[in-house]
Structure 1
Amino acid sequence: MKMRNSSSIAIKFLMLVTLANICVSQDFDFFYFVQQWPGSSCDTQQGCCFPQTGRPAFNFTIHGLWPNFNNGSYPSNCKSVENSFDESKISDIIPRAEISWPSLSCPSKKKNSTNSDNMKLWKHEWGKHGTCSYSVLDQHAYFDFTLNLKDHIDLLQILLNNGIKPDGEMYSVEKIREAIKEGTGFEGGIRCNTDASGNSQLNEIVLCVDKSAASESFIECPILPDANCPDDVEFPIFYESPLIDTA
């Protein structure tokens, strides 16, 4: 009886290990590359906080690189011991990430700080999304590749070239989509949030990237994220810039 019970326990253990490995190595179909406009993140009821490195540059910033499935669902938190977040693995690209991938989230009231925490954001993005791309990108490659995507397409300049400026005015979502298509060659997803007064504003722009993570591997989105925008949205001011003529 004891031997039979031991065998049963061993089989169950092997099944659990196999299932755990399947979860960790779960495949995906493509990436969402998500950039956000800091002015929209800050112009909400919650507001925003800047990191100790100071106010982010006058540009779109990275929200994340997210593995997705063609049916609209996505894997998350595919953690294991080997792919747990390690700050030392990205030490050489932290200066780039501080510019292009800053945190705007305010710390909890328990913390004696008014600054956001970049490392906390990066740890979250790697833990929730990056770990699910581990078969393609290890931790360093995940952050480096995402930063390279940001460098390759300048969304703000694309919009400015089409007369769409962060000046607090209203713009047609369709015109924004057309500008992205013209400037990148691909259709982009538009995501909105609301300001403190309840007005809809341009918050995020989503482009799709091939799962191979090859250089400059933007693709047409198999499925675009849910649109939550009205026909016209505000493009809020982040701060005054010589690039923008608000007259």
Structure 2
Amino acid sequence: MPQPSQIRRSAIDGYVLTLSWSPEHCRGRERDPAGRFQCSGEIGDFGFVLHGLWPEAKEPNHPQYCRTVGVLPRRVVAENICLSPSPQLLQHQWAKHGSCMARTPEAYFGAARLLFNAIEFPDMARLSREPERGTPLTAQVLAERFADLNEGLTSDAIIVKTTDKGWLDEVRICLGRNFKPRQCPQFSRLAPGKTQIKIWRGR
């Protein structure tokens, strides 16, 4: 249950579709029971997975935990486990973010699936080897590769998040209230465009 101080019901001004780079998330977690679905390899190896679809406000204090929600039905978990390969993550996203966006988990995850499945992803294995060939890979270059493959998506609608050691962690796509890409608000910027990044390929 969230603390009262965590509950925020601010007006929605847009959304962020957050994509987690699974090989980096799973590094060192291959035998962690809590990460079994995503990291053990039992149901395959993942590339980008959906961290979440988050409502945004006109300021950093985005809406969250707008109302109390129940435990996700097993059917909803089963329908989305390949998109977000953690039952705990699915429950958390519905409680924290979905509760502010949709009346039902089916509607919330349905919207997230449509957005995620519409994305064309760059060849991440090839991109990961560019620094090894002497071509620096920056956050801006990665954003541009996404933009080149997706009509209507511009590089300024993309945020790249890295770990403290410069490894790719997440790619976030900023969306307007109509769920179309928009320039990311200034307060949401993470890695500067010139930041050099590395991509962990996994096992």
User: What is the match of residue 227 of structure 1?
Assistant: 190
In structure 1, the residue matched to 2:83 is 100
- For residues 158-197 of structure 1, the aligned pairs below 5 Å read 159=124, 163-165=126-128, 169=132, 171-184=137-150, 185-187=153-155, 188-194=158-164
Q: Aligned ranges for residues 1-247 of structure 1 at < 5 Å?
A: 26-43=10-27, 49-51=35-37, 54-80=42-68, 84-88=69-73, 91=75, 93-103=76-86, 118=87, 120-134=88-102, 138-157=104-123, 159=124, 163-165=126-128, 169=132, 171-184=137-150, 185-187=153-155, 188-194=158-164, 199-213=165-179, 217-223=180-186, 225-228=188-191, 231-239=195-203
Question: Taking structure 1 as reference, are residues 221 and 228 closer, same or farther at Cα in structure 2, changes over 3 Å only?
Answer: closer
Task: Return the offset for 1:99.
Answer: 1.1
TM-score, with structure 1 as normaliser:
0.63
Q: Offset at 1:98? A: 1.4
1:39, distance to aligned residue in structure 2 (A): 1.2
State the distance in 2 between where 1:38 and 1:167 align. Answer: 20
SS of equivalent to 1:39? helix
Percent identity between the two aligned chains: 18
What stretches of structure 1 of length at least 5 have no aligned partner? Answer: 1-19, 104-117, 240-247
Partner Cα distance (2:62, 2:30) in 1: 27
Partner deviation per Cα, 1:128-155 (whole Å, 9 max, x = no partner): 1111113xx5321101110111110032
TM-score (norm 2): 0.75
CA spacing shift, 1:175–1:26, aligned 2, 3 Å: closer
Distance 1:174 1:25 in 2: 33
User: CA separation of 1:210/1:231 partners in 2, compared to 1, >3 Å: closer, same or farther?
Assistant: closer
Q: For 2:16, give the aligned amino acid.
A: Y
**Looking at CA atoms only, which structure, 1 or 2, has the larger radius of gyration?**
1
Could you list the per-position Cα deviations for residues 86-105 of structure 1 after superposition, in whole angstroms to 9, with x for gaps in the alignment?
423x71x54441111113xx
Q: Distance in 2 between matches of 1:201 and 1:87?
A: 33
> What is the alpha-carbon root mean square deviation over aligned residues?
3.2
After superposition, the Cα gap between the structure-2 partners of 1:219 and 1:87, relative to the gap in structure 1 and judged at 3 Å, is same
Unaligned runs of 5+ in 2: none
Q: How far does residue 206 in structure 1 lie from its aligned partner after superposition? A: 0.4
Local SS of the residue matching 1:232: coil
Check 1:171–1:56 CA distance in 2 against 1; reply closer, same or farther (3 A cut). Answer: farther
